[in-house]
A and B are shown apart, each in its own frame.
Chain A
Amino acid sequence: MTEMQPSRSKWLILNETRMEKLRLLRKNGMRIAREYRHSLGGMIGLGILVFFVATALLAPLIASKYDTPSMPANDIHWNDYNPSYASPSARYLFGTDFYGRDVYTLTIWGSRASLIVGLLASLISIVLGTAVGLAAGYFGKVSDEVLMRFTDFFLVIPWFPLMIVFASLLGRSFTNVIIVIGITSWPSTSRIVRAQILSIKEKAFVERAIAVGAGSGHIISKHILPNVFPLIFANTILLVANSIFSESFLDFFGLGDASVVSWGTVLEAAYEKQAFGSFAWWNIFFPGVCIILLIMAFYLIGDALDEVMNPKLRRR
């Protein structure tokens, strides 16, 4: 039993209810983890993610020892002529690109940019999307219409041209890539959230809560959010996958920051220097496969989490 303290904030008081809640949370968390382990897809996805995160963190250590461990490791060693488009060998594990840069090093370092963009851009997206979707779905009528028009508007604006336009306006920098992806992908979240809320709103327990006289805040935090949260969470993971894709996409078409090493910029350079024509497949294969794997990882994780956190689907 803890004493009642005359503290500044009542949130800090650890009373029985809160302890119980934490215990439940821990129990739930362990249950989720246990169940998650049963999902093959989820474990594979998690494995891949861990692999890439480790790669990103350990980059300075595992990159080729011939290259300077700096970020961005874009140093083209202009005056030391490295062989252009050398095939994979012991010295150049993944071969070299047009400029003689070691593709292995580039791939290792590139994981950082992809992960950073993926996470940050999704964060922006989730926050914006949830806020809008929640407000629209719950408060209904006028705010719904207005916010949905606003969302529709953004959904409707052709994404790629908008990106190019923003890129030209804001300039082609790494932070702008993150911002642009974030502000163009939130509508999907808000739409999903709103649709789900509309369905939930009609459900019996919400009506009962209203009948009993519960306030909006209470309903939102105690009834709506917990039901919507699993959906958002799973959607978050998918958004990360989408952000990674968008980033490589922007880089490839020359809208990203060319001085940052990322899988997308490596592909862009390969494309511009006609790696396809020269059949320097290593220049394309390794970064390309990494993009696919990372996206797949997030997708698998999101899928598995979806199964686990949504009780109905457990029976799959």
Chain B
Amino acid sequence: MAQSFRWYFAKRLIYVALTVWLILTFNFLLFRVMPGDVTRIVIPKGVAPGSDTFERLSHYYGLDKSIPEQYLRYMQQLFTGHLGESISFSPGADIQDFLGVYLMNTLILVGFGTALSIVVGIWLGRYTAWKRGQPADRIGSAFFLVFYCMPTFLFALLMLTLVAKVVPQWPIAGAYSPTYYTMPLLDQIGDRVVHTLVPLFALVIETIATFSIITRSSLIDVMTEEYMVTAVAKGLTARVVLHKHAMPNAMLPVVTVVAMNVGWVLSGSIMIEMIFSYQGLGYLTYYAVTSQDYPVLQSAFMLEAIAVVLANLIADMMLLKLDPRVRV
């Protein structure tokens, strides 16, 4: 089976590449369709229309060329690592220079968020499934339900107000303090933790609830299967039953849901980032849209999309490994 697995993996990689290319093209086309004259965005006011300045700027941004030519230029620049220049968000700034800062912030938030959600969510799901019917399960499930149905932004605002009232000293805005750049390393880490904690909590509470619910139902589903009865009849201990038989099968739908949720967590982080003024990719996306800064938007979109593609790839691979029934 190993060889076909490798072959399948290679096929999947090709498709990932194809998808990414499609995304880039879609990206490019979408922003050429946007309303509004790009040069007008760069030049807010004062310059008379028809003057040389407009033409010079058009030429500078390559907007005077035909769409296919622009597309080639766009692809070329991408492969040499140039993401272009921001036109209104930070006029003139090279996007690859500042994108890193925002990307890092979001990676921390979303990365830890997803990891935490998975670990805690699955653990809680397992626990409540195992304690099915008992008070622990009932209370837990009620909690999950409420948090699953609560809009993220509402909860974030609630947390913001609560933290501000109860612990006034706690920072509620930004990914780090103003004096971050002058702090020694250890303090910087601590600073980041403090700033990321509340947004993280607001972000993961819903995903934890989701994963708990799905793990719990999936696990309970599995426990009704016939082979579980067999396992118990064979005299296996609870631990073995849970880990060797129940969990692996229960994980299948969970993995699918987790993969689907990465995209969600990324989108959800936008809400969190805006409410907590957390300078991440979502914050950047929103700002780029409102200031109509297409190059920045293109780059942010691209990153977000690629992240989800990768997550899906990993999920598919795991699904393959875990479910022998699915033929390649």
- Which A residues are within 8 Å of any B CB, using their own CB? 145, 149, 152-153, 155-161, 164-165, 168-169, 188, 191-192, 195, 198-199, 202, 241, 245, 248-249, 252-253, 267, 271, 276, 284, 288, 291-293, 295-296, 299-300, 312-313, 315-316
Contacts and interface: CB of A to CB of B under 8 A. Distances in A.
Contact of A249 (B157, B266, B271, B301): B271
Given A156-B312, A161-B300, A192-B256, 11 more contacts: A153-B22, A156-B19, A161-B286, A198-B326, A202-B326, A292-B150, A296-B146, A299-B148, A312-B224, A313-B221, A316-B220
B325 A202 contact: yes
Contacts, number: 119
A56 to B, nearest CB: 19
B112 interface: no
B300 A271 contact: no
B202 to A, nearest CB: 14
A296 B142 CA distance: 11
Interface stretch (B76-84, B235-243, B302-310): B302-310
A248 B154 CA distance: 10
B153 interface: yes
B33 to A, nearest CB: 7
Given A152-B309, A168-B34, A191-B260, A159 B145 contact: no
Interface in B265-317: 266-267, 270-271, 274, 282, 285-286, 289, 297, 300-301, 304-305, 308-309, 312
B6 interface: no
A254 to B, nearest CB: 9
B154 A288 contact: yes
Contact of B289 (A165, A299, A312): A165
A296 B145 contact: yes
B224 A313 contact: yes
A34 to B, nearest CB: 21
B149 interface: yes
B289 A168 contact: yes
Contacts of B149: 241, 292-293, 295-296, 299
B263 interface: yes
Contact of A161 (B15, B150, B301, B309): B301
Contacts of A271: 157
B23 interface: yes
A313 to B, nearest CB: 7
Contacts of A288: 151, 154
Q: Which of B33, B154, B325 has the largest count of A CB atoms less than 10 A from its CB? A: B154
A160 B285 contact: yes
B289 A161 contact: yes
Contacts of B305: 156-158
B153 A249 contact: yes
B18 interface: yes
21 contacts: A149-B15, A149-B22, A152-B312, A155-B308, A155-B312, A156-B19, A156-B308, A157-B305, A158-B285, A158-B301, A158-B305, A160-B270, A160-B282, A160-B285, A161-B270, A165-B30, A249-B271, A252-B153, A284-B154, A288-B151, A291-B151
Nearest to B27: A157
Given A155-B312, A164-B286, A199-B325, A149 B256 contact: no
B308 A169 contact: no
B161 interface: yes
Contact of A202 (B154, B301, B327): B327
